[in-house]
Amino acid sequence: MGKLVEEFNGYREKMNDRIMETANTNIKRFFALDTTSYAEGALNVKTKEMLGLVASMVLRCDDCIKYHLGKCFEAGVNTDEMNEIFMIANLVGGSIVIPHYRRAVEYWDELNSSG
């Protein structure tokens, strides 16, 4: 796994563990809701992760973008599909999404080089 991916996943895991040490019931429920919302249902996991990625790009959350890129990779999204996801995100979000698009492509490339 590349440096960007390792650093992101390591930090996310470390801080999630730290948060759960003192999290109240509502925070724990929110984290659980986030996890269960992306489970297989009427929509498959791959579709939900692609939707999550577009939303994250439009909202311009780099951590969320990295997270959903990793999940899309795990779900079997290929580069042609990813380019269409990026197209939709830029179309909906406008030119302000372009800096996040650049970082997303860099992260996607790293995921693909290590997988």
Give all domains of the chain, ordered by start, each with its CATH number: 3-113 (1.20.1290.10)
24-82 confidence digits (pLDDT tens): 999 999 999 999 999 999 999 999 999 999 999 999 999 999 999 999 999 999 999 99
- The model carries a pTM of 0.94
Specify the pLDDT at position 102.
98
Instruction: Determine which helix (DSSP H) or strand (DSSP E) holds 44, and give its type and residue range.
Output: none
115 pLDDT exceeds 60?
no
Residues 6+ apart with CB under 8 A from 5: 70, 107, 110, 111, 114
